[in-house]
Each structure stands twice: as C-alpha cells, then as structure tokens.
Structure 1
Amino acid sequence: MTSTHGASDVAVPTFSPRLTRRAALAGGVGTLIEYYDFSVYGFLAVTIAPLFFPNSDSTASMLAALAVFASGYVVRPLGGVFFGWLGDRYGRRAPLVATIVGMGLCSGLIGILPTYESIGVLAPVLLVLLRLVSGFCAGGEIGGAATYIAESTPPERRGFFGSFTPFGSTFGFATAATVVAVVTSAVGTGTMSGWGWRLPFLLCFPLALLCLWARARLEDTPEFTKTKQEGRQAKWPLLQVLRTNPVAVLRVIGVAVATNGTGYIGLVYMNVYLIDDLGYPAGDVSWLSAGVIALACFTMPFVGLLSDRWGRRKVIATGVVGYLIISYPVLALMESADSLLVVGVLYLAFMVLNALLQVPAFPMFTELFGGSTRYTGVALGFNLGTILAGGTAPYIATLLVQQTGDRQSPAFWVMGAALVGLLSLIRLRETANTALPR
C-alpha cells in the first residue's frame, strides 16, 4: 500500500507502527552494543597506555594509546563503502548483522591480548590490527542503522525515531564508562592494571551474541523492497552517489565534522582531561562520565521531536552556535572548580549541546539521498567526517595541551569543528517532514 505526503506526487509506503518500533529498537540497541565495543578502549586508554606502550614519558605513552584509538577510524570510510555497497545492492539487513559480528569479535579479542611485557612489540602491532578491523566494521554500522530506521518510519516522526541511532551510539559510551567504573571499583586500581582491564573487553562477546539475535530477526525495509522490485538498485553505489549527489556528500562530511569534533571531546578526551590534567581519581571520573553521558542521552528523543516540529537545520544551527559560545568558558571553569559536582554540571551542558547536533543530523543525512545510494552516501560522508574530526579529536586535544601548555586549548578545536558544521548548513533546504527521495 502507498500514500502521498502533502502536495508531493511521490508515492511513499504506508508504515506499520509495529515495524517502526521494531526497527528503532533493533537499530538503537545494536548501535549501543557496537559503540560499547568500539568505545571501551577509549575509557581504558589511561590503563592500557603503559601496558602496550611503555615509556618513561607518560604523555608520550598516552599519545601512542590515543593514536591507536584514532587508527580505528582510518579505515572506517572503506568499511562504509563496502557495507554501503552491500546494503544498497542486496539489502539493509545483511550488513547490519555482519558489522556486529566483526566488531564484537575484534573488541573481545583485545581482552585476551598479551601485553608488551609478554611479547614485546608484537603486542601493540596486534592491538592496532584488531582496532583496524573493528573500525572497518564500524564504518558500516551507524549509516546502516540510520538508513534502516529512516526507511521504516513515517516522515513526520523520522526525527523522533531517528534519535534512537545517536541515543544508541552515545549510550554505548555511557555503558562502557559504567562497566569500566564498576570493574575498577570491584577490583581496585592496582588489579585493574594487572588483569581487570580485560573484563570490559571480554564482555563484548556475549553482547555481540545478544545483538546478533535481535538483528537476525529483522526484515528488509519497505523502501528497499520497493527499490528492488522496481530494479532501481545501483550497480556501483559509490560512483553513482559521487556523480549525482556530491554536494550532499560534502554536507554530510561537514556536519559530521561538527558532531564528531565536538562529541568525541566530551565522550573520550574529557576523561583524559579530568584524570591526567586535573588530577581527579579515575574511578570517580568513570562514574561521572557514565552519569553525564546517560543524562545527555535521555534528552535525545525530545530533541528528535523538536527537529520534527522545528526543522533539522535550525536545531543543528542552535547546537553549533552554542559550542562557539561556551567551549572555552566550560573548560576554564572546570579547571577552576573545586568540586566534581560542578565539573559534572559543566560537562552535562557540553554534552547536551552535542545532542542538538547529533539527533537531527542522522535523519537529515538520510533525507539527502535517494534509495539506491542512501546507505553508501550516509556511510561515506559520515565516516569521512569522523576521520577528520572524531577519532583524531582526543589525540589532537592532548597534543594541543602538551604543545601550548594551555589546558583550555582543546576548546579551539571544538569551536573550529562547530564552525565547519555551521558553514555546511548554508543554503541547505529543510528536509523534515518530507518523503524520502527515490
């Protein structure tokens, strides 16, 4: 069955509420587990650094560990292209199953790696290899989840249900922080450096099986089924999207630079900043991060509703302007604060602004591409933006502090990323409440 939306003559599917809820849940939960797998390394970077990169200079050791974190992002565009081709050519479901298996295995295997003390330089080599394969799989995850949810959701509710994608990815970070905090409290800091750090990685194995069970039950979206029936699948989606819609890819890259360049400072670097630079206990910081990120996540459905009512472009613009205004003052006030509670309030303000960027961005990305190239276009643009400003953000922030001696210098990185996002919105037509392009 089909219906028309507004004055448009474009036929759109009639959406089943059950299918919509199921798609949002499977997409959100799957993304949560996958980003737990991918992000737990970031929360253990301070512990892992001397185990895999021993150095008399602790900052050099930390930079090496963060460089490995960034390496997982280098191959993400390749994963986005591969899984995008698979999703646009053969269906959305298969890559969503494949990515969870790949990421779960790689992250779990990190938990059984020997350290530098046991096998020397081979230990960091194996660590890098596992992060690269994990990053390749991650390249197909969030674009696929966003596409699947968008194609299973009515236009007027796409922002709300689309919020499950960033909710899942961000709550994955909160879950990782919580697990690290629980394990640290249970075994103690000394044991954490000995073998406790392995437990959060080993948890990836059962979580991957849980997500595999949920996603294996999914059907392909009505949108892809219709595209397949009409024979409109692109033989080479990458070439087609670059030839027919390069401006949309550039817009996705620019907005992704803003969402990732700001978000990863809060999600990953803030832990390094609070522990290494401001001297707060690692266990306390893990609990603080978990609480702040979780609270920010629960604002996301409301931001999704706002983007359905107010428009994607206005909500994103509000977020990037907010970062331009508060980034430096937030870091400065954190340094001068004498209470972790005050730090937490400032941290929460920083993360809520990221919700204003992330939540409307994902449905907007899907609304810029036709069904035959949607998965590839979203995955390619988002992953290129993530390389430029996501995985590199903690490393660059740490390097800025080391080189300048100014603990607030990472704020300039955040402001630069926000400015790129603002420029990407210029002359962008509003896409909320419209049928997805064919």
Structure 2
Amino acid sequence: MTSAHGATAVAVPTFSPRLTRRAALAGGVGTLIEYYDFSVYGFLAVTIAPLFFPNSDSTASMLAALAVFASGYIVRPLGGVFFGWLGDRYGRRAPLVATIVGMGVCSGLIGVLPTYESVGVLAPVLLVLLRLVSGFCAGGEVGGAATYIAESTPPHRRGFFGSFTPFGSTFGFAVAAMVVAVFTSAVGSDGMTEWWWRMPFLLCLPLALLCLWARARLEDTPEFTKTKKEGRQAKWPLIQVLRDHPVAVLRVIGVAVATNGTGYIGLTYMNIYLIDDLGFPADQVSWLSAGVIALACLTMPLVGLLSDRAGRRKVIATGVVGYLAISYPVLALMESTSSMMVVGVLYLAFMVLNALLQVPAFPMFTELFGGSTRYTGVALGFNLGTILAGGTAPYMATWLVQQTGDNQAPAFWVMGAALIGLLSLIRLKETANTALPT
C-alpha cells in the first residue's frame, strides 16, 4: 500500500476475535498449571523440609528446603534461551506444549520420591534434579505465553488479554494454596507429614494432560507465520537480541526484579512468615493465602484495561511507589495483631500492588522486541530477573530474619526490588496501543 504522499504504508494486521480468545485462554490456563506445579513446593516447604533435610535446627532445615526451591530458578534462563530459540526459529506452539508437559511430569514425580529416612542423601539429590529439570522447562513457559497472546491480540486490547498471563501465574499459586489447605484440613499436619504431602504433587500429572489438550489445538500466531513467510527468523536469536536490543533486555530484567522480588514475598514467603514467625495455624494460613491471592487475581483484568488506557509505564510506577511506601508498615502491623481478618486485609493490599506491576509488565515486555527475537528477549530478561529476585526471595527473607532478628527485615528486600523497577522505567517510551515492532 502507498499513502497519498507516495510513502510506503505499513499494513495493519487483522486479528481474529476467536484466535485472540483461544490464545488468551490457552496461555492463561497453561501458565496457571505451570505455577501450580512450581509453587506447590513452596506451600509444602514447611512440611517436607524435615523429610528431605532432617536437622535438629528447624531453621537450617527450612533454609535447605528453600534453597532447593531457589535451585529451580537457576536454570530458568537456560530454558528461556533454548525454548526461545525454538520458538523464534520454528514457531511459538511447539515450545508451549513441551514446557508444560515437562513441568507436569517433573512435579508429579516429586510425589513418588522416597524420603531421607528411606534412602538417605539420595532423596534430596533426586529432589534437586527434578526441580532443576522443572525449572529448565519453566524458563520457556511465561515468555512464550506472553508472546503468543501479544501476537494474537490487537494493540488496544493487548493489556486486557495480556492480563491472562499474570492471572494464570498468580492464580496457580492460589490453586496450590487451596489444594494444600484442603489436604491439611482433611488429614491434619501429622497426616501431611506421613504421606499426604504427596497428593498435591501427584495432581500435577492430570493437570498437565489438561493443558496439553488446550495447547495442542493452537495454531501458530499470524505474526510468526508472517515472519516465517518473509524468511526473517533469526538463526541465533540470543546473539541477535543481545546485539540489537541490550537496553530492552536490561529493562525487562529490572522490571522483572520488581515484579518477582515483591510478588514472591507475598506468594511464597508470606505463608512461611505467618506460620513459622507469627505462629498462626497452618491450615488457616493456607486458606487465607488462597483467598487473598484469588481476590488479587480478580483485579488483574481491570488493571489490564487501565494499562491500555493510561499506559504501561504509569501503572507500573504506581505499583513500585506503593511498595516503597507500605512494605515495612504491612509486616509490622501483621506482627502486632492476632486478628486473621486484619492480616488478610494487609496481605490483600500487598498483593493488589503486585497486580499493578505484573499485568502491564508482560505486554510491555513483548512490545520491546521485534518478531524474530521476541520470544527469546522476553524469556531471557524475565528469567534473569526471576533468578535475581524471585526464586531467591523466600530464602533471602528467611535469612534476613535469622541474621537480624527483625521479622520486618524482608520489607527492605521488597523495597530494594521496587526501587530497581522504578529505575528501569527511566526514559522508557510508552508502548501501549502501538503495533508490535517487526
């Protein structure tokens, strides 16, 4: 097409509403199951720590279990690079199927592992291996889901439909908390320790089959189909994205540090904090966590709409400033009350702020890279940020409390992550309501 002035105009792609809805549903459901698989370990850390890492010092046992939780994140960038190469080179669909199957199998196998009492040191070794393979697969999941949804959605609706990715990831934590709460309430803490801790892991297997059914029916995105037809796939996406978009990768890392460094305190450490440090009953905390996380998820589509209207940058900035203001007071007020209701309100405020970070972040990530390197760029930057501040968050929070004797010390971790996110927004050009870069 040419304009009236003779200049070549850019063809505006057409988006099928049916494809957009299917992409959002498959991406959201898959991410939900991924984060259920990955987070159920965190909710059962208190239970399984002495089973795999017996120690007379309960804190040392817990730190070992949380170190294994963090180990699953160490290999995520490698998974992001591998599945990013696969997705940018050969299509978005195949890695989205492979990642969820790999994660489901690994998490399910944790449910049949022998404990330290049965096989000694082999038990934690097998646990670490399964977490590493699961983490490798997880490295390609979120970046792929965000990319698939963004490339299937019109620009003015990218924030709303993009909210299905963080909705799925966060609600996966809620589902994990609910499942753990159901089993804990039914069989008690002693029953969970004896055998029933295995059931939440075993449920990962049928959930993976459900996601396989949803994703196997997907087609590749119009954006990738066009890129492939024009022969523009990058041979080595990692090299190309680091050469052409280094600042964009750094921005993704910085914002991912903020989203994960704040979010994982609420999603995983808060459960440990309320049970181990403040002494609330484990079954009540599991139900509280599930309810709070689910309520926070309900705000996400609204935040997505807001980011389409107000812009990604403003919404993210509001969230990080909020964390800088309330993190320490929230933890201090939790410690000063015995009311589960008050704790729930404070917890909810903490998690709603994370929605302001997560929801606009994912579409913004995809809007920073061209079609030939988008999967790799998003997966690489997000996973590096997740390593730095996500998987390590519960470990660092527990360590800070142990070293300082201050139960509010994790607030400084949250504030530091939020500050990094704020700095990452400096001189960022607004990307909402724009066509994806080619």
**Does TM, scored on the shorter chain, surpass 0.5?**
yes
The one-letter code sitting in structure 2 at the alignment partner of 1:366 is T
Tell me which residue corresponds to 1:409.
Answer: 409
Tell me which residue corresponds to 1:55.
Answer: 55
Give 1:337 shift: 1.1
Give 1:434 shift: 0.1
Residues 289-438 of structure 1: pairs in structure 2 closer than 5 A: 289-438=289-438
Give 1:9 shift: 3.7
Residues 20-31 of structure 1: pairs in structure 2 closer than 5 A: 20-31=20-31
- SS of the equivalent of 1:188 reads helix
The one-letter code sitting in structure 1 at the alignment partner of 2:398 is T
Tell me which residue corresponds to 1:72.
Answer: 72
TM superposition outliers: structure 1 runs of 4+ over 2 Å: 7-12
Tell me which residue corresponds to 2:4.
Answer: none
Whether 1:92 aligns to 2:80 is no
1:38-96, Cα deviation, whole Å (9 max, x unpaired)? 11000000001000000000000000000000000000000000000000000000000
Tell me which residue corresponds to 2:283.
Answer: 283
Give 1:8 shift: 10
Change beyond 3 A, Cα 1:59–1:8: farther
Tell me which residue corresponds to 1:4.
Answer: none
Whether 1:150 aligns to 2:111 is no
Give 1:188 shift: 1.4
Whether 1:32 aligns to 2:32 is yes
Task: Extract unaligned runs of 5+ from structure 2.
Answer: 2-6
Query: Please, what is the CA RMSD of the aligned residues?
Result: 1.2
Tell me which residue corresponds to 1:197.
Answer: 197
1:219-269, Cα deviation, whole Å (9 max, x unpaired)? 000000000000000000000000000000000000000000000000000
* Contact 1:254–1:421, Cα closer than 8 Å, also in 2: yes
* Contact 1:103–1:137, Cα closer than 8 Å, also in 2: yes
* Cα distance in structure 2, aligned partners of 1:13 and 1:197: 49
The one-letter code sitting in structure 2 at the alignment partner of 1:84 is G
* Cα distance in structure 1, aligned partners of 2:426 and 2:360: 16
Identity %: 90
The one-letter code sitting in structure 2 at the alignment partner of 1:96 is L
The one-letter code sitting in structure 2 at the alignment partner of 1:123 is A
Whether 1:169 aligns to 2:169 is yes
The one-letter code sitting in structure 2 at the alignment partner of 1:117 is E
The one-letter code sitting in structure 2 at the alignment partner of 1:152 is S
Paired residue total: 434
Give 1:11 shift: 2.3
* Contact 1:159–1:363, Cα closer than 8 Å, also in 2: yes
Tell me which residue corresponds to 1:43.
Answer: 43
1:407-438, Cα deviation, whole Å (9 max, x unpaired)? 00000000000000000000000000000000
1:187-206, Cα deviation, whole Å (9 max, x unpaired)? 11111000010000000000
- Return the TM-score normalized by structure 2: 0.98
- Return the TM-score normalized by structure 1: 0.98
- SS of the equivalent of 1:11 reads coil
Tell me which residue corresponds to 1:113.
Answer: 113
The one-letter code sitting in structure 1 at the alignment partner of 2:88 is D
The one-letter code sitting in structure 1 at the alignment partner of 2:217 is R
* Contact 1:10–1:435, Cα closer than 8 Å, also in 2: no
